Structure 1
Amino acid sequence: MKDYRKTKNDIVLAIEAFTRSIDSSNDYRGDMSLLVQVTSNLKLVRLGYWERLIRSELDSNLYLTAQSKWARWFKPAPKLTWLDIVNADGYKREKSLRALSKDGAPNAFSLALAVRRLNDWVPQVRTAAREVLPSMLKSTEPKYVTEVLCMLLINWHSWGKIEEIDKHLFLDMVISEKMALLLKSRLISSTSGPMPSLLSQIGRTGILDNYLNEIASNAVQPYVRAKAYRSLFESRMTWVKSREWQWIDKYYGEQKLVPIIAERKIDVQTPFLELLNRSAVDRSPIVRQVSAEFLIRNIESLGIHARNLAEKFAADKSANVAEQGRFVLIKLDEKALNK
């Protein structure tokens, strides 16, 4: 909470410094360097709150500056900046997007503000964002694009106004080998955060298909490894496409929000038994459970390998994995008796 209050105070002070710097010496553009510095350390969460704070502070500071600094008959309009992307006026948001279309974002936070306009409540702003983002992304440092892409993919299923075509267009903008390597590194090295959801959403494209084996073996988070192994076992990627309300009980007016799952086939040729053996010795029971699940699904085709793996699982320290192993042994014994 202390860090949050400090960040809020730093942003307020940076906006004050920015508005004070607006004068004829810089063509009324103002100096955003302090604000860029402050927001460069900001995690890309609670962006709606930060947008409202910036909009409120900017409006009040510009008003006070105009009253004290500029004559009533001469109130020069400040030039459009990255801050105007969150302006309360939809016309200014659209105009700022178009004015900044060829500029690279100064940090990930600024780029995130631009990308969030794909979900803007004004259709013309969404159109502007769709049109200018390709050139903006090309001019922005890849590390910033990667950070914003991760934020976007994790959250966009909850965005009510972004269209499915915009999601595909955005992914098409960023697909490249360089971006694949950055995303793979993020998925493997991240110790926290919703990385399994990120892997699922990236699975909309084939950008990481050839790296799934590496992710399955090396990712720090067990659920990421489990997701990668499951995708390889099933030869498909699945993700939450959207969430929709469905009736539980119409009589009592009860509904629940359910995820709508989409999928895409993947063509990664990894021998099934190799996947099974690798996942069976994973350090996490979460992954070993996935391995045991696919052993159960494929008992008939594995021959002697099925019993060897089942015995290994039956002796596992995890109760859930051990139970799956014993289940396979029972099935194999029943099969042997019926011969």
Structure 2
Amino acid sequence: MAELQTLEINIVAALKEFVDTGRPSSKIISDLSSVIKITSELPLGNLKYWERFIRDEYDNALASGYSNKWKFWESNTPRVTLLDLCSWDGFRREKALRAIGEKVPNRFFLALVIRRLNDWVPQVRQAAQDILSTVLVNSEPSYVADAIFFTLSHWSSWKRIDDANRNTLLNTLSNREITNHLKMKLLYSSSGPLVLVMSEIGRTCFLDSSLEVIAVKAIQPSLRAKAYRSLFEGKSSWFAGREWEWTDRRYGEGRRKALVATRILTIKIQRLPTLLLAANDRSSLVRRVAAEMLIKELDNLSDNESLSLAKKFSNDPSIAVAERGNFALKKLAGGTLF
């Protein structure tokens, strides 16, 4: 809480400084350096909050600033800057995008540019589309990686972004430096929607070669489980939207069913060594995936290998894993499964 308040105070001070130096009476050339510096520290996870906060405080700073009411021939309209990416005014948002040039100064403003792809004003979306490729290529790769990481965890709820823009963002991952940055975030982040992000990245092949490392070394257990499942199944999967499914047409009853898209991986694994690694993972989530895969692979493993793993799983402290181990034992013994 204290950190949040400190950030808010610093943002207000930076905005006031920028507005003060932009007044006609000021002898100092106004610049955004102080605003850029403080926004570089903002967490993207709260992007919507910070966008609203900056918009409100910038408006307050402008409202309390100098007015040329006695010099009616001078305009009181502030010039367009990056801060107008947060503006209520769609015209100013569009102008701010058109004025960006080739790159943005930090990940916060880059995330705002990408967010404008879902803007409710068509002209603003078009402006964001027009500069997107150029900005992604010329901005700092770490900024691009952080902004894309944030975007991938949210864009399933964006209704106005089109497939072409999704592909433009995903194709940026062909840059090895950006992909490595995303890989490090997946490996060493302990919380957050990492499984969702990796699923979205799985639309492309750029992270296929890193799946084995993620399965073994990622901190988050659910992410390791997802990586192992993809490796065993030989495909990646992601949420592709929803469609209506009738459950009873006579009474007009139905539900929206989730659609899952898949892509075949570009790599192959050694199944037994990978299965052994998953079976000895510290998380029951991963061991459960391994036990499920053992059941599917019983016919492809030797009797000794299958029996050894089945016994191991049957003695697992996790009930879900032990149940699958016992199922595998019964299937190996040719006993009744139900």
TM-score, normalised by the number of residues in structure 2: 0.90
Counterpart residue number, 1:320: 320
Alignment pair present for 1:163 and 2:155: no
Code of the aligned partner of 1:74: E
Structure 2 gap segments, 5+ residues each? none
How far apart in 1 are the matches of 2:240 and 2:73?
54
Greater displacement, 153-162 / 303-312: 303-312
Counterpart residue number, 2:271: 272
Q: What is the deviation of 1:196?
A: 1.1
Greater displacement, 67-76 / 174-183: 67-76
How far apart in 2 are the matches of 1:17 and 1:190?
36
Instruction: Sort the Cα spacing of 1:207 and 1:64 in 2 relative to 1 into closer, same or farther, 3 A.
Output: same
Greater displacement, 181-190 / 72-81: 72-81
How far apart in 2 are the matches of 1:325 and 1:166?
46
SS of residue in 1 equivalent to 2:238:
strand
How far apart in 2 are the matches of 1:69 and 1:114?
34
Structure 1 gap segments, 5+ residues each? none
Counterpart residue number, 1:43: 43
- Contact 2:68–2:74 (Cα < 8 Å) also in 1: no
Matches within 5 A, 1:68-217: 71-75=71-75, 77-102=77-102, 104-217=103-216
Q: Deviations over 1:248-303 (max 9, x none)?
A: 78999988665432111112111222221111111111111000001111222223
Aligned residues: 335
SS of residue in 1 equivalent to 2:67:
helix
Code of the aligned partner of 2:144: V
Greater displacement, 180-189 / 243-252: 243-252
Greater displacement, 5-14 / 311-320: 5-14
Q: Deviations over 1:207-230 (max 9, x none)?
A: 100111111111111111111110
How far apart in 2 are the matches of 1:209 and 1:326?
33
Instruction: Sort the Cα spacing of 1:334 and 1:29 in 2 relative to 1 into closer, same or farther, 3 A.
Output: farther
How far apart in 2 are the matches of 1:254 and 1:133?
43
How far apart in 2 are the matches of 1:263 and 1:113?
30
TM-score, normalised by the number of residues in structure 1: 0.89
SS of residue in 1 equivalent to 2:44:
coil
Instruction: Sort the Cα spacing of 1:246 and 1:124 in 2 relative to 1 into closer, same or farther, 3 A.
Output: farther
Q: What is the deviation of 1:242?
A: 2.9
Greater displacement, 313-322 / 8-17: 8-17
Instruction: Sort the Cα spacing of 1:249 and 1:81 in 2 relative to 1 into closer, same or farther, 3 A.
Output: farther
Greater displacement, 280-289 / 6-15: 6-15
How far apart in 1 are the matches of 2:262 and 2:176?
22
Q: What is the deviation of 1:107?
A: 1.4
Instruction: Sort the Cα spacing of 1:255 and 1:25 in 2 relative to 1 into closer, same or farther, 3 A.
Output: farther
Counterpart residue number, 2:288: 289
Counterpart residue number, 1:13: 13
Q: Deviations over 1:115-136 (max 9, x none)?
A: 1001000111111111101111
